[in-house]
A = this chain, B = another copy of it.
Amino acid sequence: MYSKDVTAQNPWFIQESDLSAATTAAHETQFALANGYRSLRGESPFCPAQYPGAFYAGLYDKSEAAVTELVVCPNPLPFRVYVDYDEVLVGKKGASQYTRVLDMAQGVVSSWLTYQAETGSRLTMKSDRYVSRANRHRWAERWEFRADNFSRRIIIKIAIDGTVLNNAQHPLDAVKHLEVTDRGRLDVGAVSGIFLHARTRDSGVPIHEGEVLLCPDGEDSLKLLLCRPLAERVEAVYELHLEQGKPLVLYRLGFGQAVLGKANTEIGLKEGLSDFISSGYEAELSAHRTVLAQFWEDADIQISGDDRAQRALRFNLFHLSACANPLDNRVSIGAKGLHGEGYKGHVFWDTETFMLPFFIFTQPKTARSLLSYRYNTLQGARENARQGGHKGARFPWESADTGVEVTPPWGVDYAGHLVRIWTGEQEVHINADITYAVLKYLQMSGDRLFLLEQGLQILLETAQFWASFAQWNPERQRYEIRNVIGPDEFHEHVHNNTYTNYLAAWALQKTRDLVHQLETEDPDSLKNILDRARVTRTEVESWMEVAEKLYIPMDKERGLFEQFEGYFKLQDIPITEWDKNGMPLWPKNLDLRRLNETQLIKQPDVVMLFAMIGEEFSQEVKIKNYEYYEKRTMHKSSLSPSIYAMVGLGLGKHDHAYEYFIKAAETDIVDNQGNTSHGLHAANAGGTWQSAVFGFGGLSIDRDGTVRIEPWLPPHWNKLRYSFYWRSVRLIVEVQQELCKVFSDTPLNIRSGDREYRASQEGVEIPRKI
């Protein structure tokens, strides 16, 4: 315990040696632990939380908030230690040797501190914490105390805090979503602890939190002194008897649940904790590790020769994986993961476009569950379409529990003026993004059951929406999609956004193709699905007219897609300066309120198509467009650099790829956007994975469905190793500077350059042209 056998060099570890007021909130995101069901932001055991955050996936409430939001739930983490009544806190004079380490391999956060009280008594402490990925209601801490120079009791206080608010730091947006219905002492057999019951004020969801303290040394060592129920909080105070030099261990076992949906999913707190006490801390930790080991087996990417990139990449995979729960298809992943309150826990295109590829390629079951969330919110999506006067299903730009649009229509600026937010009405591309993810999942998994049960219906209903949303322009004899916002949010109210129109037409086409295919293979099922979707067979064919005549603006002479109609006529202001990280600086004398009058863009828009369905375009077209748009991209979204890295690598553009990749990979580990405190940049985490695998790893799927590998490594990388699933076949790709080797647990033809190779368990070598 007392020798911190960790080093900053180990790329499985994230280490913190200091906590200041300026960094605490961001570190709470970095050290958050979650299992897709619940999350606990990374409150240091030796410092009260700055932004306390206990969340349950899918638990939303509105109350006085502008729109429904993910609820900050009662915080079960407060734990205070008192040496001779002197409160142990990092930052106080007596505190030394503070270290906190997230071990991503184990899914455990360990913290160390030595504290010398004013009386001179010196205590050394270690705390380990996990949130179980095996039994998702469970979380636990193991504490170890050593009295260095005294033999006496110390005092410990635990609490469950229901006074929490959402947006607590914001003067206007702070909202109370909880009503604490009961709290007090909890006895589970001979073991004591505390409980707190609450309920969301609008949505009425019961939340139960309980925790107990156990000391293997028995009752003589740990004694409950008092339980203090306060209005919305409960505290229990214990004494722990220490003998000088003799380490004492304490376990804190926690159990929590939010009873979403039907009440019969409720497990009694006592029952839940009793079972946990029976199995114990170590057994649960072992089960948790087993799940996590399987995750790393499936999803780890190894980079030799670059610990910085290796650690940052794993950081993203660890936290992104913590947001998903394959067993609950009523929930998806918000833009900030389960790691903070940012974007109100709402689900955006981020999930399907940036995060899902990671899950599709490494954890197909989880991917399926995440897509089912969209299926389960179809009713809301239908309502959105109907409200806009359209047919079919229109998925919301911001989604919560029902699929009904929850983008706030109005924001408030600093001056208090209402600012119209148009994304809810105009960022319709979300519908094509979901189609893309469904099709990508179907392609990679070959999951026919999902196709029949949910996938095709999603495609049909969104296709129906597109067909009714596109407008026929009789003058130009073309279909148009007007008044939209593409991925680049610098430009609103644009017409015929290439990204949107291209993907919409592609979606209509792909959906029709699937219908044709199924008509041959399983006409009964098709009929059934069409009925469920309220789509006629004739209607499907009629979509082809729309798909074919949907206008894609293009400068054919230059071979350039026009981001939207009229974009090329906008002011073309060159970017001439970059910061030390290679990120563009705003051109001088630019009026930031009139960005919409320039060709400067926030993030890839046309180029985004190449990232998603690159197989549809020739290299020549891709290169021309990439070169044009990259010069005009300000990278003002965390989603931007990873996409440019990935697409660029596929086009032989290696110059900035590593810088883009590192920028993306380190977004939250170094807080380079300055808002890690609000939560994980979850889309960026997925984008980082895509840069590594699709970019450096060179993985793509040709139009004929063949796996293609075209890797490239930065010069200082010795090896890149990644794996993925192709229709239940597991492939491992090992790329070195001189050669690439592909292993497959079932023999499979793959392609690289213009050659095909037969991958097998023994591996096949693909020569590399460096």
Contacts and interface: CB of A to CB of B under 8 A. Distances in A.
A155 B176 contact: no
Interface string A601-626: 00000000000000000000000000
Interface string A70-86: 00000000001010110
Interface stretch (A54-62, A105-113, A226-234, A444-452): A226-234
Contacts of A85: 170-172, 414
A573 interface: no
A49 to B, nearest CB: 15
A231 B180 contact: yes
Interface string A230-255: 11100101010000000000000000
Contact of A172 (B119, B230, B232, B237): B237
- As for how many copies of this chain the complex holds, the number is 2
22 contacts: A21-B91, A22-B93, A64-B226, A85-B171, A119-B414, A121-B414, A152-B414, A152-B416, A153-B414, A153-B415, A155-B171, A156-B171, A163-B163, A163-B230, A163-B231, A165-B230, A171-B237, A172-B225, A172-B226, A174-B235, A176-B228, A176-B230
A136 interface: no
Given A152-B416, A174-B235, 18 more contacts: A21-B91, A22-B93, A64-B228, A82-B171, A85-B171, A85-B172, A85-B414, A87-B169, A119-B414, A121-B414, A152-B414, A153-B414, A153-B416, A155-B171, A163-B163, A172-B225, A176-B228, A231-B231
Nearest to A117: B414
A719 interface: no
Contacts of A414: 84-85, 119, 121, 152-153
B84 A416 contact: no
A349 to B, nearest CB: 27
A157 interface: yes
Interface residues of A, number: 39
Interface string A159-179: 000010100011110101000
Nearest to A157: B171
A152 B87 CA distance: 43
Contacts of A225: 172
A497 to B, nearest CB: 31
Given A91-B21, A155-B172, A172-B225, A416 B239 contact: yes
Interface string A203-225: 00000000000000000000001
A35 to B, nearest CB: 30
B230 A171 contact: no
Contacts of A237: 171-172
A119 to B, nearest CB: 7
A198 to B, nearest CB: 11
Contacts of A22: 93
Contacts of A64: 226, 228
A590 B412 CA distance: 69
A22 B170 CA distance: 27
Contacts of A156: 171
A19 to B, nearest CB: 13
A82 B415 CA distance: 12
A87 B155 CA distance: 35
A239 B414 CA distance: 11
A318 B172 CA distance: 40
A15 to B, nearest CB: 25
A412 to B, nearest CB: 9
Interface in A130-163: 152-153, 155-157, 163
Nearest to A155: B171
A235 B173 CA distance: 13
Q: Which of A157, A176, A180, A416 has the most CB of B within 10 A?
A: A416
Closest 6 CB pairs of A and B: A84-B414, A152-B415, A155-B171, A82-B171, A231-B231, A153-B416
B171 A80 contact: yes
Contacts of A416: 152-153, 239
Given A85-B170, A172-B237, A231 B228 contact: no
A20 to B, nearest CB: 11
Contacts of A228: 64, 174, 176
A174 B233 CA distance: 14
A93 B674 CA distance: 14
A121 to B, nearest CB: 8
A231 B231 CA distance: 7
Interface string A93-128: 100000000000000000000000001010000000
